[in-house]
């Protein structure tokens, strides 16, 4: 049975894109697939929202792009992380981890509280 | 890629976006087909998963951050197309705004040049003027002892003091020139940053030189005397007959103003109590402020008994305030407001024109709304049209200002202004003027745009139930503003009934066209006593008259009519404290030289017997004080100014009556008295001569006669009297022309507003008027229907204008709000409004009713 899909909290798509591109340059379709696979099908990026996010990150110079031949032999636009993007990813990751730990702690506390 | 590159390469980016999204969809289709779907099913599912392609593209374009620029371009293109279609509207609006912005730019240029521009000296910003000020606001100059005491006691970084003298300067083989010589203390030039760039400055020991054997000269004088500034170094020049060697040349702006020669102050012999010096100081950064310095120095001066009485105090103020006009002065504020009012009147005009034009576009706007355009989009479009008008008018305004400022500069005689008063366009002025203009215009464009976007989105409905009433309210408000401002400006011109009466009054002619004038100044060293000076003038007059081509010559204090000192006089029916009249000091030959025959009595005698007792009066004075012109032998009392206890009242006997003569463009002759001039006291004079030849041909005769009498007498401005008078009155003439110009422009703009409002009425009521015509209304009936509401607007506008004029008079003390003046200007505006509105009303009266009904307007 497939895992239930989850809506992305606002602002997390940018962080996921940056994280996926930290390993290697990818084109838009591969980014969407990689996020889906890494999240074990939980996070399914609405494909129409991915490209505006990629273009916005490119304009903010967090990503750089170039056209290259893809595995299928067609030209595709590959995005890679810039050094500025890498710094942004580190900052956002730290912030996210702090938030996730805090939320988890709250949830644990709620569960532990006597009935 | 920055936003500009994204904008420039937007076509390539569009192609790339298409390719990128197409690649994504194709990959998705391929994957789905691998899962077992047919291509058709795969494509359908991919489209569903991906979402609307066009929306994604729009989102990606927005992410580029350049969409708003493209929207602006689109709006501007559309606006240009509409304005091209409505050429006459665009031409009138741009023309009106250009005039308004041009006039305000000229006004701001003058304010900047006279009040705000920085002095062009590196030391000026850090320097403060230290001067005396008495209770009546006068600023007496300092004595040498006071200046030295300030130098000793002031807790500042440096003090400089100076004075100027007008002296004859020449080389050994040239004739003398009237030259301003600046006598400066040691630190003046260094502190001000006004040191020579050619040669050297004065050395510390040279400031002790009492012989005046060295000098610095300006680049201008050096070029005048020696051909070029470089050639002046080491050359000798005679300053008031004393030879001095030029050691340096200052080519740029001059401080003290208009100085062409600088010498050490020690070279000038000043009497101990002679008030001649100006002083400035450089305050210490972080040290005592102006108030502390002023207090310290004033107490030091009082301790040394150098400040007489309690009525004189010491003030320390920024140097700029001494040499520039005070922008907070009510006259300058009135001047700035007048410039701003012209922009406002022009902007109201454009607002009205936009409303009129908008009414014709209600169907178009309704159609666009019904096709899905948002009201915000249409509002932006309408504002874009206003912005285009504004941009075109800014160009036009700059052109108008450029032309007007060229004319102004040509009107100002050379050397009339300080070196630092540069009248022209600069970025400060253009920026300030156009920012104000653009803001006002856009504000006036918002109201019409706001009203027009309220149009219902159903075109058939828009034709009958537009927000016409609200539009008319705005239109009326704009017109009221225009009429009120126009009334104020016209009243300020002084368009009075008395003016016309004065114009009609005949005036005794003075034959000034045949008179030549020249400024002469005597060397103080060669002519130290009254006897020496009187003897020189007598000798020169004899020499001039013996040339055979000169019939009269006299030596005056100033050009005729340019210098009238106010004097309080009691005589006849006006007892003490008397009334203020104009007082002129004239030589005995003055009236004969200017060609004025006395009405009765005699002129002054050539000997000095009249100096103490005689006076001449003009006919206006005689009738005002005695009620008759038969006043020869009557006594008058010249009273001292109330704040000068040292002077006493003097009684004089009237020996002659002079007609009020047209020595200048005075429409209402003032009461005048003429007292005899003591030539023994005159170190400088304005020579006026009448000859048997045209004045231009007398110039060389006069200069030769003076040079042969004494080459050390400086001569300047040898020109016909009419030309000299024209130059001398440049300031008054310029002010009058400016006020007349803005009043005329304001009036014209207000009338365009009246015509626009009537045209708007006609176009918005075309159907109703057609029905009236179809039912038998005559053209006169239609004109009456159209013009009736205008009468109400005129009443409101003129009433507001009258109130505004009275408020303006209270605030700035101008004389425009007299009842006669208000009525006259009101009548003028009513007549002109009727004239300007009849034309559109007549068009309505003669329109074809069938065509108007079919047009659906």
pLDDT of residue A104: 87
Residue of B41, B57, B56 whose CA lies nearest to A45: B56
Chain A: residue nearest B46 by CA? Answer: A47
pLDDT of residue A1: 39
What is the overall mean pLDDT for chain B? 82
**CB–CB of A59 and B1 under 8 A?**
yes
CB B133 within 8 A of CB B337: no
- Per-residue pLDDT band at A113 (split at 50, 70, 90): low
Residue of B608, B615, B597 whose CA lies nearest to B671: B615
pLDDT in tens, B152-170: 888 888 899 999 988 889 9
Name which residue leads in pLDDT, A11 or B683: B683
pLDDT in tens, B163-209: 998 888 999 888 888 889 999 998 888 888 888 888 998 888 888 88
- Per-residue pLDDT band at A5 (split at 50, 70, 90): very low
Range in B211-225, B375-389, B560-574 the model is least confident about: B560-574
Average pLDDT (A46-59) is 87
Most A CBs within 10 A among B26, B63, B64, B67, hence the mutation to make, goes to B63
- Per-residue pLDDT band at A4 (split at 50, 70, 90): very low
pLDDT of residue B507: 52
B653 upstream amide cis, omega within 30 of 0? no
**CB–CB of B64 and A55 under 8 A?**
yes
Is the per-residue pLDDT at A6 higher than 60? no
Of B1, B24, B55, Cβ closest to residue A28: B24
Chain A: residue nearest B4 by CA? Answer: A59
Residue of B439, B488, B118, B476 whose CA lies nearest to B337: B488
pLDDT of residue A112: 52
> Phi, psi at residue B517, to the nearest 5°?
-130, 155
Chain A: residue nearest B51 by CA? Answer: A48
Is the per-residue pLDDT at B641 higher than 50? yes
**CB–CB of B27 and A55 under 8 A?**
no
Most A CBs within 10 A among B18, B19, B27, B61, hence the mutation to make, goes to B27
pLDDT in tens, B567-604: 888 887 787 778 888 888 888 888 888 888 888 888 88
- CB count within 10 Å of CB B336 equals 17
Residue of B622, B505, B625 whose CA lies nearest to B570: B625
**CB–CB of A75 and B21 under 8 A?**
no
CB B234 within 8 A of CB B243: no
Q: Which of B80-89, B673-682, B746-755 has the highest mean pLDDT?
A: B673-682
Q: How far is the C-alpha of B400 from the C-alpha of B343, rounded, in Å?
A: 13
> Phi, psi at residue B248, to the nearest 5°?
-160, 155
Most B CBs within 10 A among A2, A5, A29, hence the mutation to make, goes to A29
Q: How many CB pairs under 8 A join A and B?
A: 60
- A76 close to B (CB below 8 A): yes
> In chain A, what is the straight-line distance between the N-terminal and C-terminal CA atoms, in Å?
33
Average pLDDT (A12-29) is 92
Residue of B120, B305, B317, B274 whose CA lies nearest to B183: B274
**CB–CB of A28 and B63 under 8 A?**
no
Under the phi-then-psi rule, with left for phi > 0, alpha for psi from -120 to 50, and beta for the rest, what region is B284? beta
What is this structure's pTM?
Answer: 0.71
How close, in Å, is residue A50 to chain B by CA atoms? Answer: 9
pLDDT in tens, B684-742: 899 999 988 888 888 889 988 998 888 888 888 888 888 887 777 777 777 777 878 88
pLDDT in tens, B770-779: 778 777 778 7
**CB–CB of A51 and B60 under 8 A?**
yes
Share of chain B above pLDDT 70, in %: 91
Range in B8-17, B331-340, B816-825 the model is least confident about: B816-825
Of A29, A56, A72, Cβ closest to residue B63: A56
**CB–CB of A52 and B26 under 8 A?**
no
- Per-residue pLDDT band at B239 (split at 50, 70, 90): very high
- A69 close to B (CB below 8 A): no
Tokens at B672, concatenated: 């005048």
- Per-residue pLDDT band at A115 (split at 50, 70, 90): very low
Of B24, B26, B60, Cβ closest to residue A55: B60
The tally of CA atoms less than 13 A away on the side-chain side of residue B779 is: 11
pLDDT in tens, B439-455: 877 777 887 788 777 76
* Predicted interface score ipTM higher than 0.85: yes
Tokens at B466, concatenated: 């537009």
**CB–CB of A47 and B26 under 8 A?**
no
């Amino acid at each position: 049975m497939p895992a239930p899909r989850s809506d992305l909290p606002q602002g997390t798509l940018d962080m996921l894109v940056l994280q996926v591109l930290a390993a290697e340059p990818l084109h838009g379709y591969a980014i969407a697939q990689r996020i889906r696979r890494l999240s074990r099908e939980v996070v399914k990026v609405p494909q129409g929202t991915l490209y505006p996010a990629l273009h916005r990150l490119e304009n903010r110079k967090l990503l750089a792009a170039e056209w290259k031949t893809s595995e299928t032999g067609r030209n595709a636009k590959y995005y890679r992380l810039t050094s500025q993007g890498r710094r942004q990813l580190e900052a956002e990751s730290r912030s996210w981890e702090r938030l996730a730990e805090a939320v988890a702690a709250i949830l644990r506390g709620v569960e532990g509280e006597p009935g | 890629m920055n936003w500009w590159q994204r904008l420039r390469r937007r076509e390539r980016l569009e192609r790339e976006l298409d390719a990128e999204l197409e690649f994504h969809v194709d990959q998705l289709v391929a994957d789905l087909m691998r899962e077992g779907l047919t291509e058709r099913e795969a494509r359908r599912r991919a489209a569903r998963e991906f979402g609307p392609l066009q929306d994604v593209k729009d989102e990606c374009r927005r992410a580029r951050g350049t969409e708003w620029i493209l929207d602006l371009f689109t709006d501007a293109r559309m606006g240009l197309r509409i304005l091209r279609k409505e050429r006459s509207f665009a031409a009138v609006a741009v023309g009106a705004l250009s005039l308004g912005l041009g006039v305000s730019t000229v006004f701001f240029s003058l304010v900047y040049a006279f009040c705000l521009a920085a002095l062009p000296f590196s030391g000026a910003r850090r320097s403060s003027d230290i001067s005396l000020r008495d209770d009546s606001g006068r600023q007496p100059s300092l004595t040498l002892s006071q200046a030295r005491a300030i130098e000793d006691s002031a807790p500042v970084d440096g003090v400089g003091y100076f004075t100027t003298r007008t002296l004859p300067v020449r080389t050994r083989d040239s004739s003398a020139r009237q030259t301003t010589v600046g006598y400066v203390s040691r630190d003046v030039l260094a502190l001000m940053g006004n040191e020579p760039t050619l040669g050297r400055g004065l050395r510390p020991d040279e400031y002790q030189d009492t012989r005046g054997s060295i000098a610095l000269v300006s680049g201008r004088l050096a070029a005048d005397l020696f051909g070029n500034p470089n050639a002046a170094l080491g050359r000798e020049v005679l300053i008031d007959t004393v030879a001095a060697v030029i050691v340096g040349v200052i080519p740029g702006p001059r401080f003290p103003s208009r100085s062409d020669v600088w010498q050490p102050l020690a070279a000038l012999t000043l009497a101990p109590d002679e008030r001649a010096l100006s002083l400035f100081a450089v305050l210490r950064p972080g040290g005592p402020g102006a108030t502390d310095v002023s207090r310290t120095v004033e107490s030091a001066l009082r301790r040394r008994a150098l400040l007489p009485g309690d009525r004189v105090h010491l003030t320390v103020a920024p140097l700029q305030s001494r040499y520039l006009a005070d922008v907070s002065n009510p006259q300058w504020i009135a001047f700035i407001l007048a410039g701003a009012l012209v922009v406002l009147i022009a902007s109201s005009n454009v607002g009205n024109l936009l409303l009129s034009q908008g009414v014709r576009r209600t169907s178009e706007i309704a159609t666009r709304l019904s096709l899905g355009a948002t009201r915000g989009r249409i509002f932006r479009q309408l504002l874009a049209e206003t912005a285009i008008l504004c941009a075109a008018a800014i160009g036009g305004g700059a052109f108008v200002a450029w032309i007007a400022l060229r004319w102004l500069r040509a009107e100002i005689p050379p050397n009339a202004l300080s070196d630092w008063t540069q009248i022209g366009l600069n970025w400060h002025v253009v920026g300030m003027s156009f920012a104000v203009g653009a803001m006002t215009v856009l504000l006036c464009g918002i109201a019409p745009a706001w009203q027009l976007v309220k149009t219902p989105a159903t075109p058939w409905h828009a034709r009958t139930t537009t927000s016409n009433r609200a539009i008319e309210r705005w239109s009326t408000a704009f017109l009221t503003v225009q009429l009120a401002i126009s009334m104020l400006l016209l009243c300020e011109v002084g368009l009075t009934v008395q003016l016309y009466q004065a114009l009609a009054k005949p005036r005794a002619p003075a034959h000034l066209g045949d008179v030549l004038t020249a400024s002469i100044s005597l060397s103080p060293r060669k002519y130290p006593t009254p006897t020496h000076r009187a003897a020189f003038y007598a000798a020169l007059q004899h020499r001039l008259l013996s040339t055979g081509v000169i019939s009269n010559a006299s030596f005056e204090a100033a050009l005729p009519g340019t210098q009238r000192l106010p004097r309080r006089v009691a005589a006849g029916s006006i007892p003490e404290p008397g009334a203020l009249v104009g007082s002129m000091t004239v030589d005995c030959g003055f009236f004969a030289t200017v060609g004025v025959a006395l009405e009765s009595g005699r002129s002054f005698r050539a000997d000095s017997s009249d100096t103490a007792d005689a006076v001449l009066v003009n006919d206006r004075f005689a009738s005002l004080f005695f009620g008759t012109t038969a006043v020869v032998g009557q006594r008058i009392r010249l009273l001292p100014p109330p704040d000068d206890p040292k002077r006493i009242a003097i009684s004089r006997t009237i020996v002659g009556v002079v007609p009020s003569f047209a020595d200048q463009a005075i429409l209402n002759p003032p009461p005048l008295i003429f007292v005899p001039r003591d030539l023994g006291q005159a170190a400088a004079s304005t020579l006026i001569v009448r000859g048997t030849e045209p004045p231009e041909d007398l110039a060389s005769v006069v200069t030769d006669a003076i040079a042969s009498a004494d080459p050390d007498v400086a001569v300047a401005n040898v020109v016909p009297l009419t030309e000299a008078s024209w130059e001398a009155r440049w300031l008054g003439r310029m002010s009058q022309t400016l006020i007349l110009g803005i009043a005329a422009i304001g009036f014209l703009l207000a009338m365009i507003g009246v015509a626009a409002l009537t045209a708007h009425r006609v176009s918005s009521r075309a159907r109703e008027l057609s029905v009236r015509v179809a039912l038998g209304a005559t053209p006169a009936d239609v004109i009456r229907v159209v013009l009736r509401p205008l009468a109400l607007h005129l009443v409101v506008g003129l009433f507001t204008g009258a109130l505004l004029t009275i408020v303006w008079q209270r605030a700035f003390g101008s004389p425009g709000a007299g009842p006669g003046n208000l009525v006259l200007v009101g009548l003028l505006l009513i007549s002109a409004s009727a004239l300007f509105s009849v034309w559109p009303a007549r068009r309505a009266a003669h329109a074809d009713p069938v065509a108007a009904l079919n047009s659906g307007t």
